[in-house]
Amino acid sequence: MEEASLSFDKRKHPRISLTIPVQFKVISDTEEAMAVMAERKTMEAGKSKNVSAEGLFLLCDRPLEKGDILKIEVTLPHDHKPIRAFSEVVWISEQSVAENKYGAGICFMALRDEDAERIGQFVAGLLKQKE
């Protein structure tokens, strides 16, 4: 597992530096929303730079726009069941971030209670290890 570190800012939930694979689909119009519902649109690959109970920072190969709605899948380290959520791009990096990737701050919008609890417990567990 990647090394995790704590960052302090004004967010409601603590955020840890953690690189994990993220699969996502952009849902930007009715046609794409219907394709997602029918599972016809393939997922794109990205990775997180950091994760919190409320969202993550996504690195991907193409620029996203503030307000984009994403269907994402994330599998936490040492877990076999992916977490699925609808998320919103709440901010974007003005330039490529690393490895010629684009960055976007993603906020979870629709997340099952059990998945929210799994992410919260995972982040809390890593934070305890750092104390």
pLDDT digits (tens, 9 = 90+) for 4-44: 444 444 556 667 787 878 888 887 655 555 655 555 667 89
Residue with tokens 């490529």: 96
**Cβ within 8 Å of residue 12, ≥6 positions away:** 54
Residue 108 has pLDDT above 90, yes or no: yes
CATH fold group of domain 6-130: Thrombin, subunit H (2.40.10)
Domain boundaries, the chain: 6-130
56-to-38, 73, 100 alpha-carbon distances in Å: 26, 12, 19
Query: Where do we find the tokens 């029918």?
Result: 38
Taking only the tens place, the pLDDT of each residue in 43-84 is 899 999 899 889 999 999 888 999 999 999 999 988 889 999
Q: How far apart are CA 130 and CA 57, in angstroms?
A: 21
